[in-house]
Chains A and B, each alone.
Chain A
Amino acid sequence: MSPNNYLVLSALLFSIGAIGVVLRRNAIVVFMCVELMLNAANLAFVTFARLLGNLDGQVVAFFTMVVAACEVVVGLAIIVTIFRSRRSASVDDANLLKY
């Protein structure tokens, strides 16, 4: 089997995610883009696991999902708290921690 298609898809997904993180202001969307990047990485892991015939990559994919779940829990809590106090979900509005 040729991994090219999978890897190209993974790269596309990662790029879309990265561009979304850099360009979008809405924290929820930024979050989803982060998920997209994680899943792009998952796809690459699973591809190589299949290609090489061992399970390490698939195990790492599971770990990634767990990390992603934790991140969502913490991240959404932060976003909701910020929204409650500042009435805004824009990441550019939360810029007080600076020089």
Chain B
Amino acid sequence: MEATHALASGTSSLLVWLIALPALGATILLLAGRRSDKWGHLLATALSGASFVVGLVELFKMLSRDGETRGVSQHLFTWINAGSFNVEAGLLLDQLSICFVLLITGVGTLIHVYSIAYMEHDHDRRRFFSYLNLFIAAMLLLVLGDSFLNLYVGWEGVGLASYLLIGFWNQKPAYATAAKKAFVVNRIGDMGLSFAIMIAFTAFGTVSFQGVANHAGPEHKQIMTWMGLALLLAAAGKSAQFPLQSWLGDAMAGPTPVSALIHAATMVTAGVYLITRSNFVFDSAPTAQLMVVIVGVVTLLFGALIGTAKDDIKKALAASTMSQIGYMVLAAGLGPAGYAFAIMHLLTHGFFKASMFLGAGSVMHGMNDEVDMRKFGRLRLAMPITYITFGLGYLAIIGVPPFSGFFSKDKIIEAAFNAGGPRGWIIGFAALLGAAITAFYMTRVMVLTFFGQKRWADEAHPHESPKLMTAPIIILSIGSIAAGALFAFGSSLQHWLEPVVARGFVEGEPALQPIVVSIMALVAVALGVALAYIKYVRVPVEAVAPTNVSIWTRFARRDLLQDAFNEAVFMRPGQYLTRALSFFDRKVVDGAVNGTGALFGGLSVRVRRVQTGYVRTYALLILVGAALILAAMLAARI
């Protein structure tokens, strides 16, 4: 076990620049303030691009080495050195992290470019770009950290950037509340990560990936199970998985590029990265793995159901993100058979979901920031480029061959069926059902936005967005066409990741032939599309959401009562508890302290009356006192 877990064998001194460049950008822009308003966005974009170039250089260097020796590391400094507790700040770039590095810096740079135009009329554009740079730096630290504690720093950094960007327009109280909600829910998940780190340190005395991996194996099954569950909680918080999914919908309050970069392509997938990176933990803990699968399946159906009822285009896409990450988590829960497919779906999803979000932003840009799809309709004529790119993303996400979603999602469904026994059939059919619902709600989004009748507001004058916005969308949609085939061809991504996540793993006999699974998935997709066609193309869509709908639609519109549940189960009892505690504090604790003070205060008001100022009174008191003492002494004598 030990020898096979050599995560990195070489070193590279370039790694730190990946993080340092965007971090430098964020620092300069924040410190220079308004002076950098004119050129801040250009600097931020350039530094993000430079980071991407460094990533490419690292990729080519990595390609020139082979197999087991591809991972490189860079030791930065000794962070904590206290007795037996020793944490080195180090970076690790292996086949898994390079995928993320290129996704983060690549998609990130495109979204920087897009934002230059999208945020042009916002007088805080420079601040927006400094936060974007901060996010890129933190996310890179997250994927490059070589220990759980280094990862944790990046993990918190992206949480901070996410909070700042969701609440970027915090002059609107609802947006500020959404930011706070995301932050609070994320803290619950972060507790899971800190528990995992504490468990690792107590049990193994180390928090580095390598150190914990050395202890992996059936002999530490119980510890690994607890650690796995704690990591799952962390992943659920960051990746908006059940039961911590409620923040993602509200996070759409942030500017659309933020939704595309952070809440679709990169940050929300950090949970999947965490599970994949901790593969040695989950591989030793079947119970934790089963929980991961359950969370993934529940979330993929949960998100898909919410997606069917949302009229807000960004919230519909957010529900879809939740559901797609459910697929990734499900795949990651399947162990070595699924890690590569989780990452593959993560990468293809990064392309097509980012392109769709940017498309949604482009639509909003042309429609005076309208987000209600019932007020869109027939936009394909007004915005041809947005229509085509969004359409390509649509074909990719519902899984039509040969677009990228087909390859990645099919692989996950296949792996789910192959999980074996009744479990395999259950999660396999759940994943198929999810695919059908995905096809339904994405068709709905597509039809409502680009087809049907005009339902625009009178003052809307939809127009195509400027080239700075369409160019990134076009590049991303090329990715959503080609990425899947590229990764799936000859199982290239699977072999690429094998040294990190699936050493010595041998595929068993499949439960179903791949072609059968593909046909089943396509039938499910066709059913979903057909249902959406019947409901939204045959019947004209109303501009105002109908109110006489079934109870299920109402449930889905209210996010399956997730907020009501959280409010009733956690928020209200918590509120009552704090009220009771504050009442106790005010009445009992403060009462005792203030009561003692008041008692002696009142007493002294009365006692000080003895000080009359008349010398003769004092003399008399002394005399009486002396007489009494004398009398007492005499009495004691007799």
Residues of A bordering B, CB below 8 Å: 18, 21-23, 25, 30, 91-92, 94-99
Contact = CB atoms under 8 A, between A and B. Distances in A.
Contacts, number: 33
Contacts of A18: 623
B625 to A, nearest CB: 13
Interface stretch (B33-41, B332-340, B357-365, B608-616): B608-616
Contact of B613 (A21, A22, A98): A98
A25 B617 CA distance: 11
A91 B615 contact: yes
A95 B616 CA distance: 10
Given A95-B614, A99-B610, 13 more contacts: A21-B616, A21-B623, A22-B616, A22-B623, A91-B615, A92-B616, A94-B615, A95-B612, A95-B615, A96-B613, A97-B613, A98-B612, A98-B613
Interface of B: 608-616, 619-620, 623
A18 B625 CA distance: 13
Contacts of A22: 616, 619-620, 623
A23 B620 CA distance: 9
Contacts of B619: 21-22
A21 B619 CA distance: 7
A18 to B, nearest CB: 6
A22 B621 CA distance: 10
Contacts of B620: 22
A95 B613 contact: yes
Given A18-B623, A22-B623, A99 B609 contact: yes
A98 B616 contact: no
Contacts of A97: 613
20 contacts: A21-B616, A21-B619, A21-B623, A22-B616, A22-B619, A22-B620, A23-B616, A25-B616, A30-B615, A30-B616, A94-B615, A95-B612, A95-B613, A97-B613, A98-B612, A99-B608, A99-B609, A99-B610, A99-B612, A99-B613
Nearest to A94: B615
A7 to B, nearest CB: 15
A30 B616 CA distance: 9
A91 B613 contact: no
Contacts of A99: 608-613
A82 to B, nearest CB: 11
Contacts of A25: 616
B612 A91 contact: no
A10 to B, nearest CB: 15
A30 B618 CA distance: 13
A95 B611 CA distance: 10
Contacts of A21: 616, 619, 623
A13 to B, nearest CB: 15
A35 to B, nearest CB: 14
Pairs A-B, 3 closest by C-beta atoms: A98-B613, A95-B613, A99-B608
A92 B618 CA distance: 12
B410 to A, nearest CB: 93
Contacts of B611: 98-99
A22 B624 CA distance: 11
Highest count of chain B CB atoms <10 Å: which of A23, A30, A99: A99
Nearest to B608: A99
Contacts of B623: 18, 21-22
Nearest to B604: A99
Highest count of chain A CB atoms <10 Å: which of B610, B611, B612, B613: B613
A99 B610 CA distance: 8
Nearest to B605: A99
A58 B620 CA distance: 29
A5 to B, nearest CB: 22
A73 B613 CA distance: 23
A21 B623 CA distance: 10
A96 B610 CA distance: 14
Contacts of B615: 30, 91, 94-95
B614 A92 contact: yes
A24 to B, nearest CB: 8
A22 B615 CA distance: 9
B616 A91 contact: yes
A99 B609 CA distance: 6
A36 B615 CA distance: 18
A91 B614 contact: yes
Highest count of chain B CB atoms <10 Å: which of A30, A91, A97, A98: A98
Nearest to A25: B616
A86 to B, nearest CB: 14
Contacts of B613: 95-99
B616 to A, nearest CB: 6
A96 to B, nearest CB: 6
Contacts of A23: 616
B235 to A, nearest CB: 71
A30 to B, nearest CB: 8
